[in-house]
């Protein structure tokens, strides 16, 4: 210890006395200093990230290799057995398909619908602020409140949905909705749209407002019709917003849990089960923590791989320039 202190003082004196600090040219030394202070500032955040994000991931991956009931020591190392069992399980394969269904429906139905309402509400319309608020309001509700609300609406025999179906002459649907394996997914999806389309609509509205009206005017003067203006000006300029909206809605669909848990708990007979539901069932109902960890790892890998590819290939042009790269100097 004393030796290092003395080196420090000595070097310091040498540096300050002998060599006048080299003017603006960045020495290796001062760059190190800059890095060090950056690192110091990052430490608290990094530490939190390490403790609350990375460590749990490592623990989950590790737990996934064990047959473990959640109590006592993890002793039964089973390698990849949890994963082979997982992909042999028809219900879990079904969970994957249902995840894909939700993704496709959100991207192909929900987003166009949100875009449509956004374009509609971007026009000069009497009371458009009221409409915007109305459509956005469901997003503010908690998932559980929404789910309980729709459980009432779809209540067999007494719910609003049954009355409405009777009124519209769709008696075949009465008493089904969330209670029949063939109708539960579309019904769930309707609730999802109701809940989330307002959020995407808001994103699109913000995007639309950033499109300069001069361009649209110029196009009108050049003789472009409404559709042409939308197709060749609005849509391309809205590209970044659409891409981020698609990203958010896919990640949201992959991780969907609370709405489904409260409305159907994955039923009837697993027909509305998502991966997150399966994870909860095995972890907290069956106490098969090792197996549930394996599910969580699969869920995580799907989200991770998707995010990386999406950012690399789709979002790249939107992000370029937005991120300061460290090596650019």
Partner 1 sequence: MASTVPSRRSFLALAGLTTLSVALTAACGADESGGNLSADGKVTFEWWNIATTEPGKSLFPQIATAFTAAHPNIVISTTSLENEAFKSKLTATTSSGKLPDVYQTWGGGVLQQQVDAGLVEDLTDLLDWSAQLTPVSLQAYQIGGRTYGVPYDIGMVGFWYNKKLFAKAGITAPPATWAEYLGVVKKLKAAGITPIALAGKEKWPGHYYWAYLAMRVAGLPALQKAATSKDFTDPGFVKAGVHLKELVDLQPFQPGFLGAGYATPGGQAASVGNGKAAMELMGQWGPSVQKDAGADLGADLGFFPFPTVDGGVGQATEVFGGGGGFALRKGAPKEALDFLKFFVLENESKLLASNGYLPVVKGAESRLTDANKKVVAESLVKATGFQLFLDQAYPPAVGQEVNDSVADLIAGKKTPEQVTASITEAAKSA
Minimum distance from CB of 91 to partner 1 (Å)?
Answer: 9
Among 187, 133, 125, 131, CA closest to 162? 187
**By C-beta, is 136 or 257 nearer to partner 1?**
257
Question: Quick one: 149 exposed, middle or buried, by C-beta within 10 A (0-12, 13-18, 19+)?
Answer: middle
Minimum distance from CB of 155 to partner 1 (Å)?
Answer: 4
Q: Angle at CA 197, nearest 5°, toward 193 and 200?
A: 150
Minimum distance from CB of 166 to partner 1 (Å)?
Answer: 13
**By C-beta, is 174 or 303 nearer to partner 1?**
174
Task: Return residues touching partner 1 (CB under 8 A).
Answer: 4, 7-8, 11-12, 15, 29, 32-33, 36-37, 40-41, 43-44, 47, 51, 69-72, 151-152, 154-159, 174-181, 184, 264-265, 267-269, 281, 284-289
Minimum distance from CB of 12 to partner 1 (Å)?
Answer: 7
Strand-pairing partners, residue 66, are 77
**By C-beta, is 39 or 226 nearer to partner 1?**
39
CA distance 90 to 98: 12
Minimum distance from CB of 144 to partner 1 (Å)?
Answer: 13
CA distance 257 to 252: 9
Contact 263, 88 (CB under 8 A): no
Question: In this structure, what token pair is assigned to residue 43?
Answer: 């430490």
Cα distances from 115 to residues 35, 191, 249, in angstroms, run 44, 18, 13
**By C-beta, is 138 or 290 nearer to partner 1?**
290
**By C-beta, is 180 or 318 nearer to partner 1?**
180
């Amino acid at each position: 210890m004393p030796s290092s202190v003395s080196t420090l003082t000595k070097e310091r004196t040498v540096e300050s006395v002998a060599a006048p600090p080299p003017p603006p040219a960045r020495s290796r030394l001062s760059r190190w200093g800059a890095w060090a202070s950056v690192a110091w500032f990052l430490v608290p955040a990094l530490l939190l990230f390490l403790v609350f994000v990375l460590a749990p991931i490592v623990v989950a991956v590790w737990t996934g290799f064990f047959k473990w009931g959640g109590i006592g020591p993890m002793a039964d190392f089973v390698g990849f057995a949890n994963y082979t069992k997982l992909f042999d399980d028809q219900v879990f394969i079904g969970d994957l398909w249902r995840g894909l269904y939700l993704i496709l429906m959100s991207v192909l139905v929900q987003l166009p619908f949100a875009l449509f309402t956004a374009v509609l509400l971007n026009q000069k319309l009497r009371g458009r602020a009221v409409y915007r608020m109305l459509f956005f309001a469901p997003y503010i509700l908690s998932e559980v409140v929404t789910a309980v609300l729709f459980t009432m609406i779809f209540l067999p025999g007494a719910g609003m949905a049954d009355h409405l179906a009777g009124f519209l002459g769709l008696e075949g649907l009465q008493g089904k909705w969330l209670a029949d394996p063939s109708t539960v997914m579309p019904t769930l999806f309707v609730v999802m749209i109701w809940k989330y389309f307002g959020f995407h609509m808001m994103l699109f509205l913000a995007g639309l407002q950033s499109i300069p009206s001069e361009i649209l005017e110029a196009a009108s003067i050049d003789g472009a019709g409404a559709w042409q203006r939308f197709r060749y000006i609005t849509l391309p300029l809205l590209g970044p917003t659409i891409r981020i909206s698609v990203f958010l809605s896919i990640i949201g669909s992959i991780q969907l849990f609370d709405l489904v848990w409260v409305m159907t708990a994955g039923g009837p007979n697993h027909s509305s089960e998502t991966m997150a539901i399966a994870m909860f069932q095995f972890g907290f109902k069956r106490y098969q923590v090792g197996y549930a960890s394996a599910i969580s790892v699969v869920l995580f890998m799907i989200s991770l791989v998707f995010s990386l590819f999406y950012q690399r290939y789709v979002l790249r042009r939107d992000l370029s320039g937005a991120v300061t790269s460290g090596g650019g100097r």
